């Protein structure tokens, strides 16, 4: 997601340290302390403007959510939604999603969401895809044993690549939706992109994939 630079965005983030974590490295291994409870932790990598993650946090107060996004202007838009809804179970990180082991300890996260990630369609850019093996290795490190990735996209090529990547990595494909909005799936919370694409009649793909539980080997 690319948006115009938002004047004052960095200052907005700095002004709300209760929602935007200023020193994420300091909370590695201590996120339950940050939230003040031991609820499961779910993170969205590439949260965009925050419609999905704020919707999930509002719908599931029994789960702690962390939204991760690189672009400061986009994080500020997610912050707008968070401030409006005053969600105590949501924190925002303005960090690079490829460096999550700097901010989360091994097995600290219970579930990861990837929604409408950049498809990087050229073969030479494969390593930049969030479902490529290098990113999956980072995800596996911070997820609990047998942790899951829930992935949504409108891009058929990225969806097919991701299914293959999950499988080759040794993950178990739990469920697949080839047309999410025409299915019986309940509780779907849409992202901004999802609303845009579905309104145009585009098919939305979804998959839930689980890592192996290496503690049982």
Annotation says 118 is catalytic: yes
In whole angstroms, give the CA distance from residue 217 to residue 209. Answer: 19
Which of 100, 54, 60, 56 minimizes the C-alpha distance to 77?
54
Sort strands 205-210 and 172-177 into parallel, antiparallel or unpaired.
Answer: antiparallel
Q: Which helix (H) or strand (E) holds 64?
A: strand 64-68
**How is residue 205 written in tokens?**
């793909």
Q: Which of 38, 118, 179, 213 is catalytic?
A: 118
**How is residue 88 written in tokens?**
């105590």
User: Sign of dihedral through CA atoms 207, 126, 44, 213?
Assistant: positive
**How is residue 214 written in tokens?**
């290496």
In whole angstroms, give the CA distance from residue 49 to residue 53. Answer: 9
Enumerate the known binding-site residues for S-adenosyl-L-methionine: 44, 69, 96, 118
Which of 166, 170, 165 minimizes the C-alpha distance to 208?
166
**Which positions are annotated as active-site residues?**
118
């Amino acid at each position: 997601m690319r948006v115009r630079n938002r004047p004052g965005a960095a200052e907005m983030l700095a002004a709300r340290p209760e929602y935007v974590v200023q020193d994420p490295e300091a909370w590695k291994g201590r996120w339950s302390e940050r939230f003040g409870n031991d609820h499961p932790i779910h993170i969205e990598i590439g949260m965009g403007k925050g419609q999905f993650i704020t919707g999930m946090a509002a719908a599931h107060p029994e789960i702690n959510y962390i939204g991760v996004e690189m672009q400061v202007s986009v994080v500020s838009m997610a912050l707008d939604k968070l401030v409006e809804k005053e969600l105590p179970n949501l924190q925002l990180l303005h960090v690079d999603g490829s460096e999550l082991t700097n901010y989360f300890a091994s097995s600290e996260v219970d579930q990861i969401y990837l929604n409408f990630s950049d498809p990087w369609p050229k073969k030479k850019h494969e390593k930049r895809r969030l479902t490529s093996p290098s990113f999956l290795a980072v995800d596996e490190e911070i997820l609990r044993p047998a942790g899951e990735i829930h992935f949504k996209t409108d891009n058929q090529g990225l969806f097919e690549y991701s299914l293959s990547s999950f499988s080759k990595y040794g993950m178990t494909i739990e469920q697949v939706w080839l047309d999410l909005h025409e299915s019986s799936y309940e509780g779907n919370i849409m992202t901004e992109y999802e609303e845009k694409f579905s309104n145009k009649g585009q098919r939305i793909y979804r998959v839930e994939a689980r890592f192996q539980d290496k503690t049982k080997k």
